Structure 1
Amino acid sequence: MMTDEQDSERSRTIRYQVPGRDKRTLFARSGLEQLRAVAAGEAPAPPISSHIGLEFVTVTEGDVVMTAVPDESHYNPIGSVHGGFFATVLDSACGCAVHTTLPVGVGYTSLEIKVSFLRPITADTGPVTAHGWVTRTGRSAVFAEADLRDSQGRVLATASSTCLVVRPDPAP
């Protein structure tokens, strides 16, 4: 027999804008300029932001602070927020910190991320804050770290990441 809590169906509508398909337009600004435009509402946020309530708080070179809002739609079978939520927020914080260091026309992609889960998150946790910062920059790879905290400043998870710098192909 199902309890009222088990059979109370909920829904969530996600609205987002599809990023531009023209890479020249997307990469016409430096990474820092791109993310500052998103933070200021002058450019659309990446679609993943809509899924987790991800928003920028601050964007400076090599350093970003973001917030996200966990809810029941992020739960795993044991009634807490799925590790994928943690990983997505931390990957975003690391990747965006890296992105702020890139010049016009240069991109990145995550090569690897290691996440350490330190405390559980539930819908009752409320908004969480991720801080991502670059620890080392190289020509082909950039290294970053991030932490995820609750409103009392308790560390919920940490991450370290390596991102591959993607440069445009030279003209033939």
Structure 2
Amino acid sequence: MFTATTPEEMPDKDTMLSMSGLEFMQAMRDGKVSRPPISALMNYTLDSVEAGKAVFRGTPEFQHVNPAGGVHGGWYGTLLDTCMSCAVMTVTPKGSVYTTLEYKVNLTGAIPVGREIIATGNVVHGGRSTGVAHGEIRDAASGKLYATGSATCLIMKLRDG
């Protein structure tokens, strides 16, 4: 899987709209389209994807800590927004895109720096114009819950599928 380092390496709009959201996410998982640059900055990757579900693996590093030395809440928020909104993307039809309207994060524990986590997003509603998903961040080894979240995404039809 490669990460786009220039705007030209990102998938163009026509490529994205030529696939369903699930097909696009599968192409990203398989390295056929680049993953977004933020995933390299935040140190996470797409692990698995299916209709209504997206799973990412990540590891916070020293560069992700706050002034007190803990993993910054923005790292949690980024991973939850990613897994939840990408789960919604898996239910978008060909010719459509999504954007996050709002998301909420609840931190339940401190992730140690260097600890691998799994962030899972599951769709609870995938409609014509909105999608709602829940997410969790858990320790990859022990399953300990570190955070939960919920998101609402706007689904926009840009062209006929």
TM over 0.5, shorter chain: yes
Q: Is the 8 A contact 2:130 2:153 kept in 1?
A: yes
Q: Is the 8 A contact 1:32 1:101 kept in 2?
A: yes
- Looking at secondary structure, tell me which structure has more strand per residue: 2
Letter in 1 for 2:28: V
Is 1:46 equivalent to 2:36 in the alignment?
A: yes
Tell me which residue corresponds to 2:126: 137
Is 1:110 equivalent to 2:100 in the alignment?
A: yes
Superposed CA RMSD = 1.7
Tell me which residue corresponds to 1:70: 60
Alignment size in residue pairs: 155
- Secondary structure of 2:74's counterpart equals helix
Tell me which residue corresponds to 2:151: 161
Q: Is the 8 A contact 1:72 1:122 kept in 2?
A: no
- Secondary structure of 1:123's counterpart equals coil
Q: What's the CA shift for 1:23?
A: 1.5
Runs of 4+ in 1 over 2 A off after TM superposition: 14-18
Q: Distance in 1 between matches of 2:132 and 2:65?
A: 30
Q: What's the CA shift for 1:17?
A: 4.8
Q: Distance in 1 between matches of 2:22 and 2:89?
A: 7
Task: Please list every run of 5 or more consecutive structure 1 residues that lacks an aligned counterpart in the other structure.
Answer: 1-13
> Normalized against structure 1, the TM-score is what?
0.85
**Pairing of 1:1-172 with structure 2 (within 5 A):** 16-18=5-7, 19-20=10-11, 22-124=12-114, 126-150=115-139, 151-168=141-158
Q: Is the 8 A contact 2:4 2:34 kept in 1?
A: no
Deviation digits for residues 75-119 of structure 1 (CA, Å, limit 9, x no counterpart) = 001001100000000000001100011111100000000100000
Q: Is the 8 A contact 1:79 1:122 kept in 2?
A: no
Q: Distance in 2 between matches of 1:85 and 1:71?
A: 10
Q: Distance in 1 between matches of 2:4 and 2:50?
A: 27
Larger radius of gyration: 1
Distance 1:33 1:169, change over 3 A: closer
Q: Distance in 2 between matches of 1:121 and 1:50?
A: 19
> Normalized against structure 2, the TM-score is what?
0.90
